[in-house]
């Protein structure tokens, strides 16, 4: 089973709202990722969690706040977003095996976010 | 820094035809993985095929196969007997070690009935 689930599928929020995106995997993967994808563009990496610790933050604005409560769950808390933050937000996970960590990322279906 | 280039922004073929998507990359690493991901209009990013750089044999998954030319740093995807469900954006991606996944800009493939 290579399933990563994400909720909600769609989210519309105002610039003053606080909302959260949720990602879950039950494959025993130890690395989890958040990506942002604009239309017709490749995904852009935002954050990486490795063994539940934040290992990469790609200089993402503080209005995006990731959280990894346990090895299966990854949240992205949103606050005071801008209209240009409207995008598809993808979650991914990978086994993270060995030193090289050249393993495969499996993606969830994404959350389509619209900021009004 | 690694870069991935997909030189074909869009392609269109008839159903049942064979189509090849191009991908080139630039790296100084010797050990790495290459991937093709498919993203249909439903937007889920689906792994199509992957290739380990240390393997000389080209990877194959049913109708999907790659032509991996390590010296030329080329990694093309061949889709045989194309089907309407193959219509999607295809991304070539590269990853070495603990570094992040680097994507190409994508090729939008349309299969026409």
Per the CB < 8 Å rule, is B97 touching A112?
no
Per-residue pLDDT reduced to its tens digit, B84-94: 999 999 999 99
From A62's Cα to the closest Cα of chain B, the distance in A is: 21
What is the per-residue pLDDT for A97?
A: 65
- pLDDT > 80? residue B1: no
Three-state DSSP class for residue B105 = coil
Average pLDDT of the segment spanning A5-31 = 94
Are B43 and A43 in contact by the 8 Å Cβ rule? The answer is: no
What is the per-residue pLDDT for A83?
A: 95
From B16's Cα to the closest Cα of chain A, the distance in A is: 26
**Adjacent-strand bridge partners of B67:** B76
Average pLDDT of the segment spanning B74-93 = 97
- Whole-angstrom distance, CA of residue B100 vs CA of residue B66: 22
Report the C-alpha dihedral over residues B18, B23, B29, B33, rounded to 10 degrees.
-40
What is the per-residue pLDDT for A1?
A: 55
What is the per-residue pLDDT for B41?
A: 86
From B74's Cα to the closest Cα of chain A, the distance in A is: 19
A vs B, Cβ pairs < 8 A, gives: 55
* Nearest to B44, CA basis, from A83, A65, A92: A92
| B32: nearest CA partner in chain A | A102
Average pLDDT of the segment spanning A60-79 = 96
Nearest by CB: B32 against A48, A102, A109 = A102
Per-residue pLDDT reduced to its tens digit, A44-60: 999 999 999 998 888 89
How far is residue B111 CA from its own chain's centroid? Answer: 16
- pLDDT > 80? residue A98: no
């Amino acid at each position: 089973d290579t399933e990563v689930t994400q909720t909600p599928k769609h989210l519309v929020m105002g610039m003053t709202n606080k909302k959260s995106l949720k990602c879950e995997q039950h494959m025993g993967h130890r690395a989890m990722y958040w990506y942002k994808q604009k239309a017709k563009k490749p995904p852009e990496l935002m954050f990486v969690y490795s063994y539940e610790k934040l290992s990469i933050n790609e200089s993402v604005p503080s209005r995006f706040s990731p959280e990894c409560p346990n090895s299966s769950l990854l949240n992205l808390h949103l606050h005071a977003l801008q209209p240009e933050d409207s995008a598809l937000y993808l979650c991914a996970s990978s086994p993270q095996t060995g030193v090289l960590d050249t393993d495969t990322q499996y993606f969830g279906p994404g959350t389509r976010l619209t900021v009004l | 820094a690694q870069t991935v280039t997909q030189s074909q922004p869009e392609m269109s073929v008839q159903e049942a035809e064979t189509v090849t998507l191009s991908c080139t990359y630039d790296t100084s690493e010797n050990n790495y993985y290459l991937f093709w991901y498919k993203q249909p209009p439903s937007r889920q990013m689906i792994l199509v095929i992957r290739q380990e750089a240390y393997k000389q044999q080209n990877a194959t998954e049913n109708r999907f196969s790659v032509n991996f030319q390590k010296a030329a740093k080329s990694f093309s995807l061949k889709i045989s007997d194309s089907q309407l469900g193959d219509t999607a954006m295809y991304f070539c991606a590269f990853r070495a070690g603990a570094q992040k996944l680097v994507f190409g800009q994508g090729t939008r493939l349309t299969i026409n009935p």
